[in-house]
Amino acid sequence: MAVIDLLPSILLGAAPLALVWIVVWLRRSPLPPGPRSEWKNRVKPGTQPWKAYKELAKEYGPIMCTQASFGAYAFVVDTAETLVELFEKRSKIFSCRPRWVMAELYGRQNNVGLMYYGEELTRVRKVLHRGIGLQAVPQWENLFEYESLKILSDALADSANLLSSVEYNIESMVVRFTYGHDMDDEFLKLATKVSQQTGVALQPGRWMVNYIPILAYVPAWFPGAGFQKLAREGKDYYFKLTRPPYERVKEELSRGVATPSFVSHSLTDMAKHPHLGFNEQAIMSAAGSVFSAAVDTTTSTVLSFFLLAATHPEVQERAYNEIMAVVGPDRLPALQDQDSLPYINCIMKEIWRFNPPVPILTHSPIAEDKYLGYRIPKKSWVFGNVWSIMHNEAQFPEPDKFNPDRFLPVEGQPMPPDPKDFVFGLGRRLCPGMNFANALVFLTISRAIALSEIRPPRGETLLLEFTTSLISRPKPFKCVVTPRKGVPPELLAQLKPEKLKALYKTI
């Protein structure tokens, strides 16, 4: 019997299935409200999208849906309650990342911040937790001591170059911690290049290959495939940044001459404790992730402190008085003092609130889910607008005002959300280096206030402006850092090169 003779029977049999599919499709939960395709007219290129999303949320509610290129949907979460519900309470579903095909072509798929949720990510995070978790902080205390003093020493010596010296010192610290070596100029140039290339690879809306993944297989010589050449170059640079330092530590470890570092400790753990499940790829991925994740975010926080301190001398004085009352004038604040310095902790929280280093968190569900009766499709983009949540007028009155007092307990009033619970991620994407960042930021802020005064240049008014990049930091600014009057000479002497050199040798 010819197939054509069976066609009516096939169609008749398929009709009920098609009808069921149509009914199911029609009865699907709706998508959240939102501006859909016209959202691009509301979010202008070169502006801070988190601010535009906040305004749109006033029209559309705590979760809204926008339509990106080629029919892809993106969802923006605007309230703390919704973000906690999805990213933390439903972390089993919402712990993946959207697919950045261009980032994969650049070789960044093994970076923990971009890895898809699964066994390999779990393994890499385990390496990170063991190497930079809370329990690892004490063994690196001398490194934090040194870097906090070096940042301040350079600021006092040449505050005109504060921005570059802060970034350089933090880069040096991360390299020293990760690989056990000092950072030379060649490595610095390479790191800067890789950071720039990563920013290019992650530019939203720029790369068509992110929306049409099959384009990743188009050869570089094909017309319009210039992105392949850029990606290949970026991948080569990333390899040079991460592979040779790792191999150097591995070789030194085999000869018994390796300096203590994250990589040497992790390789030793892998050999001594096979039950941990570590492998070399996981350690290399973790090491590469430490540099890319730690430098930009920590630099943003420290620079934000200097900018906000310069524009708020009254905050400096109140913090100084607390240090004198708790620590006294004869020594510098130490990590053990942090719990006894609540106002310093309030300053840290307010810095993270005022300008979150990562204004928007990006997750993706591994399965379709529903929230408030709305459908969130599998593999869609879900943006957590941390900046908007940290500027919610109901929880943070006068949100555009820098006011550490808002985090001091007031009898009969609820405490506002702790920015630390949001700026370091949520759920299974919580930043494993949170406690390392906390240690360096606390020591840098408390010691800067104890030893110096930070002011705008004479006759100038500093503007509180921040970049629009994925990692937001203050726009270039100038401030004057001078020794605080009345500080004992023996404390200022700790900033001298010979003292710092002796401290460095103890790391």
pLDDT in tens, 296-329: 999 999 999 999 999 999 999 999 999 999 999 9
Task: Please check the confidence at residue 488 and state whether its pLDDT lies above 70.
Answer: yes
Tell me if 45 is assigned to some domain.
no
Instruction: Give Cα separations from 307 to 177, 311, 319, 438 (angstroms).
Output: 27, 7, 16, 19
Tell me if 49 is assigned to some domain.
no
Domain count for the chain, please give it.
Answer: 1
Task: State which residues form the domain around 494.
Answer: 101-361+404-504
Look at residue 42 and give its three-state secondary structure. Answer: coil
State the pLDDT at residue 47. 80
pLDDT tens across 181-202, in order? Answer: 998 888 888 888 888 888 888 8
Lowest-pLDDT choice from 32-36, 261-265, 305-309 = 32-36
Tell me if 56 is assigned to some domain.
no
Task: Please check the confidence at residue 153 and state whether its pLDDT lies above 70.
Answer: yes
CB 180 within 8 A of CB 143: no
Chain centroid, CA 216 distance in Å: 27
Helices (H), 95-134: 101-105, 119-132
Distance CA 334, CA 62 (A): 41
Pairing verdict, β 381-385 and 73-77 = parallel
User: Can you give the CATH number for the domain in which 250 is found?
Assistant: 1.10.630.10
State the pLDDT at residue 444. 98
Mean of per-residue pLDDT scores for the chain: 90
pLDDT average, residue stretch 118-134: 91
Q: Which residues contact 67 (CB under 8 A, 6 or more apart)?
A: 36, 37, 39, 73, 74
State the pLDDT at residue 37. 64
State the pLDDT at residue 4. 56
Query: Hey, what's the torsion of the CAs at 413, 414, 420, 421, to 10 degrees?
Result: 180
Distance CA 162, CA 156 (A): 9
Helices (H), 134-225: 141-157, 162-179, 185-201
Tell me if 72 is assigned to some domain.
no
pLDDT average, residue stretch 381-403: 96
CB 356 within 8 A of CB 387: yes
Q: Is 217 left (phi over 0), alpha (psi -120 to 50) or beta?
A: alpha
pLDDT average, residue stretch 436-463: 96
Beta bridge partners of 76: 64, 383
Tell me if 346 is assigned to some domain.
yes
Distance CA 73, CA 98 (A): 11
pLDDT average, residue stretch 121-145: 92
Q: What are phi and psi of 147, to 5 degrees?
A: -65, -40
Distance CA 196, CA 183 (A): 18
Tell me if 408 is assigned to some domain.
yes
pLDDT tens across 68-93, in order? Answer: 655 678 899 999 999 999 999 999 99
* 148 or 197: which leads in pLDDT: 148
Amino acid at 112: V
Tell me if 94 is assigned to some domain.
no
State the pLDDT at residue 195. 83
State the pLDDT at residue 19. 44
Distance CA 193, CA 235 (A): 11
State the pLDDT at residue 5. 58
State the pLDDT at residue 199. 80
**149 burial via Cβ count (<10 Å: 0-12, 13-18, 19+):** buried
**188 burial via Cβ count (<10 Å: 0-12, 13-18, 19+):** middle
State the pLDDT at residue 188. 84
Rounded to a whole number of angstroms, the CA Rg of the chain reads 26
The first and second tokens of residue 121, run together, are 């990510």
State the pLDDT at residue 197. 86
Lowest-pLDDT choice from 160-169, 181-190, 459-468 = 181-190
Beta bridge partners of 36: 66
Tell me if 196 is assigned to some domain.
yes
Question: In the block, which residue shows the tokens 């933390």?
Answer: 88
Task: Please state, as a whole number, how many other Cβ atoms lie within 10 Å of the Cβ of residue 330.
Answer: 8
CB 160 within 8 A of CB 459: no
pLDDT tens across 264-275, in order? Answer: 999 999 999 999
State the pLDDT at residue 68. 60
Look at residue 453 and give its three-state secondary structure. Answer: strand
